[in-house]
Each structure stands twice: as structure tokens, then as C-alpha cells.
Amino acid sequence: MLLHRYTPNVAAAVIFAVTFLALSMLLAWKNYRGRSWYFSAMVVGGLSKSP
């Protein structure tokens, strides 16, 4: 028995996933250009969470 009907919006999920991946790649680029290697764990975490 369902308490409420939930229908996920596929278009919104794709948009947010692409945005998250793009921001993770931008962060990776900024870390590479700024040579802030100590922040690379954040980049690895962001890329591992991207679909």
C-alpha cells in the first residue's frame, strides 16, 4: 500500500545530474589551475557521485 503517489520527473533528474557533473568538472579545472591539490578529495567525491 502506497501512502502517496510519487512519480519522479526524469527531465529534472537529468538536468540536475548534468549540472552536478559540470560543476564538479569546473571545480576540478579550478583546482588544477590554482594548484590546490589538497582539495582534490572534493573533486574525487564529486565525480564519484555523478552518474
What confidence score (pLDDT) does residue 45 get? 76
50 confidence band (pLDDT: 50, 70, 90): low
Enter the DSSP assignment of 35: T
At how many degrees (to 10) do helices 40-49 and 10-34 cross? 160
The whole-number average pLDDT for the span 44-51 is 70
Give the whole-angstrom CA distance, residue 17 versus residue 33: 24
Helix then strand count (H, E) for the chain reads 2, 0
More confident residue, 1 or 13: 13
The whole-number average pLDDT for the span 28-50 is 76
Give residue-wise pLDDT tens across range 6-32.
888 999 999 998 998 898 888 888 888
Give the whole-angstrom CA distance, residue 18 versus residue 23: 9
Give the whole-angstrom CA distance, residue 42 versus residue 31: 10
Is pLDDT above 70 for 1?
A: no
